[in-house]
Amino acid sequence: MASLYEIPIEQINGIGTKRGQLYRKLGIDTAGALVRFYPRAYEDWSNITSIENAQSGETVCIKASLSSPVRQAVVSGGRILATVIVTDGYSEMKIAFFNNRYISSMLRTGSEYLFYGKFTLNYNTPEMINPTFALTGASESVPIHPIYSQVAGLSTKHIEKSVRSVLDMLPETVKDPIPENIRKRYSLPPLKSVLWDIHFPKSMDEAENAKRRLIFEELLVLVLGLSSIKTLSLERSDVIIENDHTDEFLGYLPFTLTNAQKRAIDDCISDMKHNDKAMNRLVQGDVGSGKTMVAGGAAYTCIKNGYQAAMMVPTEILAQQHYQTFSEIFENTDVKVRLLTGSMTAKQKRTILSELAEGEIDFIVGTHSLISETVVFNNLGLVITDEQHRFGVRQRSQLLSKGKNPHLLVMSATPIPRTLALIIYGDLDISIVNEMPPGRQKVDTFLIDDSVRERAYGFLKKQIEEGRQCYIVCPAVENSDTGLTGVEEYTEKIRAGALKSCRVECLHGKMKASVKDEIMNKFVTGEIDVLVSTTVIEVGVSVSNAVIMMIENAERFGLSQLHQLRGRVGRGKHKSYCILVSNAKSEEARKRLNALCQTNDGFKIADEDLKLRGPGDFFGSRQHGLPELKIADLAENIEVMHEAQEASKEIMNDYLNPDCSELRSLRAEVSMLFNNVGQKLN
C-alpha cells in the first residue's frame, strides 16, 4: 500500500493530466488515495422487480427489452428529450432521457437490459426518468454497483474503472496495519479483501462487513494519533507544586462550592503536584455550574506556591467580568490580580507589563493580548483558557511558551457526550462539573409559534416595566428568502411596533469590535432594555438582570446551542424564561425543541442532540482541528469507537516504540491522517 501513495494519480491508465486535475479536486492525488476513496452509496441490481410489482417512488431494478424504437424531440430550453417503451414480457414502462443524444445508439431493439432508477406512476403510466442501465449478462455478474462522489467532468463510472485498475496493482500479500491478534479478537477481515469488498461487493452484507473493518481501522488510527499527541505533550513540568492551599481558598469564599467543583479542584491540584508532567486538564461544565471557581482554586494554590497564573478569554467584556470576580474573591488575600486588554492606554499597558515581568502581579486576566511578544512573565506556573473552541491550539501554545512547561487548565461550557469529549479533547484529561450551585435559577422554557407572538411581546413588556432586561436572538444579520429573520430589520420592526416604549438595540458579528463592546457594556449597565442579537451573545458575559431569552426561528439552531443561549438568563435572583419561537411543522423539529422545554441538564440535551442530529453541533466547521474522517461517523459508530479505544490501549506501548516494525504501517496511517492538522507524530 505504501508504494501506491508514491504513484501520482495522473499515471494511472486512462487518467492523464487533464482528468488528474479533476481527481485532485476530490482530494485524490495518488493511487493509494484513490483506493481509500470509498463509495458514498451502492446501487443494488441483484433484486429485480417486475413492472407490475414496482411501487411508485421506490428505486428499483427492472429487467426489460425495448418494445419501440427510441424517439427524440427538442423541448423547451433547447433540451433533447429521448423516450422509449420497454416491456418485461407482461407490462410496459415508459423511459425518458434528457440531454443524451447517444441513447438511440446505446439501446437496441432485441436486446435485454437492466434499468435501475426511481419508478413512478404518471397518470397510472409506469415511468422512469434518466435510469442507469446495462445489458443483462454483464450487470448480473456484478450486481452491486459503487457510487462515488463526483465533480463536473468526472463520472462515477470512470472512478469505478480507475479504482479497479489500482486494485489490480495490489501485490499478492498486502501488509495489514492492524495486528493479527487484534483482527482476530474483533473479527476483522484482512485489508486486501476488504479493499475489494468495499468497492466491488458481491452482496450488501459483504459491503457492510468491509465498511465495519475500515471504520474500526480509521477510528483506531484516530485514537492512536490523539493518544500520541497527549503522550508527546506530557513534558516534565518545571512548576513544582508542593503545598495544597485549597482549604484556605474555600475559607475566603462567601459561599460553599458544590462537590463537583471541589472534585475538579482536587483533580487540578493532584495533576500539578505530579511534577513528572505538566497538567493538561479540561474542566467541562454546564452554563452556570461554577467552572470559574474551579479556575480560581487552581490558580490560588499555584500562586501560593510562588508562581504566576494567567487566564485568557475571548472578549474584553468577559475579561473584565472575570477580573472583577477574582478581584472580589482575592480582596482579603495577598494575591494581586490585574487586567490586560487591547483597549487599554499605552501607559496602562506599560505599567502592567512592567509589574508582570517583575513578578509583582500574581494573577493576570486578559484577552489574546496576553500572547503578544511584549508580555513577559516572571514565573508563569498556570495557564487558564476559557471557552476552548474560541482559541486554537496555536494560541494556547503561544501563552504556554511564556513559561517553563507551565500547567494548563481549559474551561468549556459546551456540554458534550463523554465519548465525543474524549475524541475532541484527546490531548486533555477531563473533569466534569455536573452540579449547579445553590441559588442558580432554573429557566422555564416554552415553545410558541406566530399565533401567540403578541402575547409573548406583552410578557416581555411586563418584565421590562418591572425593571428587568431581555435578549431576542435571530439566526441571521439580514432577512433572507428562506424565511430567516434578520436582526437589523427585526430591531426596526419592534422599535416601531410591539416594543416602541422600550430601549431596543441591535448587536451582530459584522459590527466593529469597539461598537459591539460599547453596546454590550450598555446592556450590562442596564442602559438597554432589549438586546436583539445574533449568536454573538452566546459566549460568557453575565447579566444578572436579564430574565428573558427569546429565540426566533429556533428550529435553525442545534439543541446544544439553544441551551447555551438559554444560559445567558437565570443568572440573578429573578425568575427567568426562555421562549422558543418556531413555525416548523416537521415532527422531528418539534420533538427536538420540546426536548429543550423538558430539561435544563446540558449533558442530557447534548445526548439528545447527538441522537437527533449527529455530531454536527460538536464537530461542525471542524473548529476543533480534528482530522477529516473518510468513512467513520462519530455519532453512528460509537460502539466501534469503544472497540478501537480498547484495542489502542493494548498496542499503545508497542506503537510508541519506533523499532516495532509490526506497527510501521499503522504509524504511517496515523501520520497521513493527522498531516492536515499540523500535528507532529513521528
Residue 123 binned pLDDT confidence (cut-offs 50, 70, 90): confident
pLDDT digits (tens, 9 = 90+) for 453-483: 999 999 999 999 999 999 999 988 776 655 6
Residue 332: the pLDDT is: 87
Look at the pTM and tell me if it is higher than 0.75: no
Q: Is the pLDDT of residue 679 over 50?
A: no
Q: Which residues neighbour 246 within 8 Å (Cβ) at sequence distance 6 or greater? A: 262, 265, 266, 269, 297, 300, 301
Q: What domains appear along the chain, each with residue ranges and CATH number? A: 47-142 (2.40.50.140), 246-433 (3.40.50.300), 443-599 (3.40.50.300)
Residue 243: the pLDDT is: 93
DSSP string for 108-139: -TT-EEEEEEEEEEETTEEEEES-EEEEHHHH
Instruction: Kindly state the DSSP code that residue 441 receives in the 8-state scheme.
Output: P
Is 188 within 8 Å of 178 (Cβ atoms)?
A: yes
Residue 419: the pLDDT is: 61
Residue 621: the pLDDT is: 35
Where do runs of H (alpha helix) occur along 498-637?
Answer: 513-524, 559-566, 587-598, 602-613, 616-619
How many of the other CB atoms lie within 10 Å of CB of 142?
A: 15
Percent of the chain with pLDDT over 90: 47
pLDDT digits (tens, 9 = 90+) for 318-365: 888 899 999 999 998 999 999 999 888 999 999 999 999 999 999 999
Look at the block and give the residue holding cell 411581546.
Answer: 457
Q: What is the mean pLDDT of the chain?
A: 86
Q: Which residues neighbour 636 within 8 Å (Cβ) at sequence distance 6 or greater? A: 614
Instruction: Kindly state the DSSP code that residue 452 receives in the 8-state scheme.
Output: G
